[in-house]
Structure 1
Amino acid sequence: MTEDQLKLTCYFGERHRAGHRFLAEALVERYADAAVAASVVLRGIAGFGPRHQLRTDRSLTLSENPPLVLTAVDTAQKMHGLAEQAAAMLTDGLITLERVRSAAGSDATTPEAATLTVYVGRYDRVAGQPAYRAVCDILYRRGFAGATAFLGVDGTQRGQRRQARFFGRNRQVPVMITAVGRAAQVDDTSAELRTVLNDPFVTVERAQLCKRDGRLIARPPALPPADDGRPLSQKLTVRTSEATLYQGVPIHRALVRRLHESAAVSGATALRGVWGFHGDHKPHGDKLIQLSRQVPVSTVIIDTPERISACFDVVDELTAEHGLVTAELVPAAVSR
């Protein structure tokens, strides 16, 4: 697949419904019917949205509504139609459309920094080890700034539905690996991934590296509020670890709470990975016996360029010693 592609991402609550069904299930079923190349449903561990209701996995009951993130990628032609359907079904949350390109080959237009995303199955193997771990090893060896593998609970892989079951080993549920690197790293690594993975689905997005291990590289780029009359949005992704703290609290929890209390932005979502790395720390994740969780966490913040610029001071403060921060343009976003 070499034509232009779009990434459609929906942020909403797990218990949100579309008619008599849960919204996540209804959307993934539509993606499966349309044979969407890659999609994945991720459960968030903390966040808030347009209604400004703060939810975390530390205070949830069975009747509450943890955050979900549903990402889908395919051709622009296919995703435009599905975006309209998703917008009609979503009554409370956020929908974004972002441009991506296939990593099927080298592209001279790749920016200085980029986000590389790889979609695999949970039990896909490379030389006897899980594919997502093998991918993280390759990214680490090639000097990427960071990478995180997220385990999905539902989605599609090469157009086929991959859903977790209550009883079962859930071998085929999707895993999404996102990584930040330089242009040369992205192009060279894409070529290597095609040699070790069986028909991988890999995409590349433009990004700007803002902070790495506490060092400020650049603030998010100043963007106009609109382009050709269409409002623009901006996305910050803050990659930290469950074990890195700010004043005794995990950075992602402190960040979500500070943003919620200050009302600096209209929403933020924290997602826990299962494996990954940032900086010079080797790839790591959960172990059978451990005193504290060492898994990576990504906190996603999306809002207008003006509000993203204002909230960056909070992000900068809380990542004074740890973390990887990137900024990306979001050409289209709809908040309900």
Structure 2
Amino acid sequence: MIDDWTKVTSYFGERLRVDGRLFSDVLLDTFEEHEVSTSIVLRASGGFGLRHHLRTDQTLTMSENPSVMVVAGDSRSRIEALLPRLAELQPRGMLTVERAWAMRGDVTPEPMPEELNEATKLTMYVGRHDRVAGRPAYVAICDLLHRRGVAGASVLLGVDGTLHGSRQRARFLDRNLEVPSMLLAVGAGERIEEVLPEVIPLLRRPMITVERVRVCKRDGALLARPHELPATDGAGLGLWQKLMVYTSESQLHDGLPVHRSIIRRLRQTQARGATVLRGVWGYHGDHEPHGDRFTQWGRRAPVVTVVVDTPQGIASSFDVIDELTGEHGLVTSEMVPALQYFDVGQPRRGGLRMARHRY
């Protein structure tokens, strides 16, 4: 059964505290208390926010206060009831709310909603210990998606999270086998629908969401620009957009990894922020699935760069990204129906009521 789903994502610095406790712990305790079906804490390797303070794994600032991205999802009614509490808790950063569809538990493939016909982002939450024929499940799934012609996939390891409502936290000197990882895949809606019957049996306890996206670029080829959205919907609620750029550490622009070039250039513009997530396995286009060895950390790792802004801001950021991905990368765009910014001592900007706009 495909359920109506709502996804909420929080962006902030890792050292952010609430009443003396790390905000990430406060968030995950809240999700556990309310039995939110899935959540994952992703530690970023770089990025900047509204204040344009650069954090990268090449600087001391990054090691002291890396960016963090927390993604959680459940039924629309459960997340909407929780949103006021989440907004009350968050002192700084950004909160976004997005629509999705979910398949979980003992699922059987069903026809996709019509909205997903253009292109689909498939997200799977997989435990680190899950195995298929002796290999990590995410490796087996990436190989399958690649063989079936899905445009790309990236695997991101979580450091904390909930899966089917149960809290799992990464610990020092622990194998952290139950901590969820997130596998993001992008492809044509019909291709995703065709491959799901093969993917589902590979998952011990399926937790899958699907969302509508547009594939803008693939391996340097421009396929389409992001949708031109108005600033607000018919009810006056703000509309936002998100770009996701899938590259790897080994892909360069003028001698720099593409994602570092993107962050540098966007930071020089009026972009509101960007977040870089380093993966452990993945592929895009015709490239074979790959990852890193412990002796080669960072050399071939897949990288996902996330940019969220107003439609006008996204149009400007896409021009920069288009130039920097002239030879490499997979670039997607999607609508974000609600967003709110938080800063200590400043009025909140945006709102958490989801806008509606057909496009």
Between 1:237-246 and 1:83-92, the stretch displaced more is 83-92
Letter in 2 for 1:92: R
2:46–2:54 contact (8 Å) kept in structure 1: yes
Task: Provide Cα deviations, 1:214-258, integer angstroms capped at 9, x if missing partner.
Answer: 000011110010112100000000111011011101110110111
Which residue number in structure 1 is paired with residue 230 of structure 2? 224
Q: What secondary structure, in the 3-state scheme, does the structure 2 residue paired with 1:240 have?
A: strand
Structure 2: state its 5+ residue gaps: 343-359
Distance (Å, rounded) in 2 between the aligned partners of 1:124 and 1:186 = 22
Quote how far apart the aligned CAs of 1:82 are: 2.4
Between 1:127-136 and 1:284-293, the stretch displaced more is 284-293
1:41–1:153 contact (8 Å) kept in structure 2: yes
Structure 1 position 46 matched with structure 2 position 46: yes
Structure 1 position 321 matched with structure 2 position 343: no
Q: Give the superposed CA RMSD.
A: 1.5
Match of 1:260 among 260, 267, 274: 267
Quote how far apart the aligned CAs of 1:126 are: 1.3
Structure 1: state its 5+ residue gaps: none
Normalising by the residue count of structure 1, what TM-score does the alignment of the two structures yield? 0.96
2:218–2:285 contact (8 Å) kept in structure 1: yes
Which residue number in structure 1 is paired with residue 83 of structure 2? 83
Between 1:120-129 and 1:207-216, the stretch displaced more is 120-129
Quote how far apart the aligned CAs of 1:100 are: 0.4
Between 1:323-332 and 1:125-134, the stretch displaced more is 125-134
Which residue number in structure 2 is paired with residue 179 of structure 1? 185
Distance (Å, rounded) in 2 between the aligned partners of 1:294 and 1:152 = 19
Structure 1 position 116 matched with structure 2 position 119: no
Task: Provide Cα deviations, 1:178-200, integer angstroms capped at 9, x if missing partner.
Answer: 01011111112222222221231
Letter in 1 for 2:280: V
Task: Provide Cα deviations, 1:71-90, integer angstroms capped at 9, x if missing partner.
Answer: 00110111112222221111
Which residue number in structure 1 is paired with residue 337 of structure 2? 331
Structure 1 position 131 matched with structure 2 position 165: no
Which residue number in structure 1 is paired with residue 257 of structure 2? 250
Distance (Å, rounded) in 2 between the aligned partners of 1:313 and 1:78 = 38
Quote how far apart the aligned CAs of 1:165 are: 0.7
Task: Provide Cα deviations, 1:82-134, integer angstroms capped at 9, x if missing partner.
Answer: 22222111121111011000245222412220100000101111111111111
Change (3 A) 1:283 1:302: same
- Identity score, percent: 49
Distance (Å, rounded) in 2 between the aligned partners of 1:114 and 1:132 = 19
Structure 1 position 271 matched with structure 2 position 277: yes
Moved over 6 A (4+): none
Letter in 1 for 2:226: P
2:6–2:98 contact (8 Å) kept in structure 1: yes
Task: Provide Cα deviations, 1:277-308, integer angstroms capped at 9, x if missing partner.
Answer: 00111110012444961011010000000110
Q: What secondary structure, in the 3-state scheme, does the structure 1 residue paired with 2:268 have?
A: helix
Letter in 1 for 2:261: A
Quote how far apart the aligned CAs of 1:4 are: 1.0
Quote how far apart the aligned CAs of 1:36 are: 1.5
1:193–1:200 contact (8 Å) kept in structure 2: no
Quote how far apart the aligned CAs of 1:142 are: 1.1
Q: What secondary structure, in the 3-state scheme, does the structure 1 residue paired with 2:261 have?
A: helix
Between 1:308-317 and 1:191-200, the stretch displaced more is 191-200
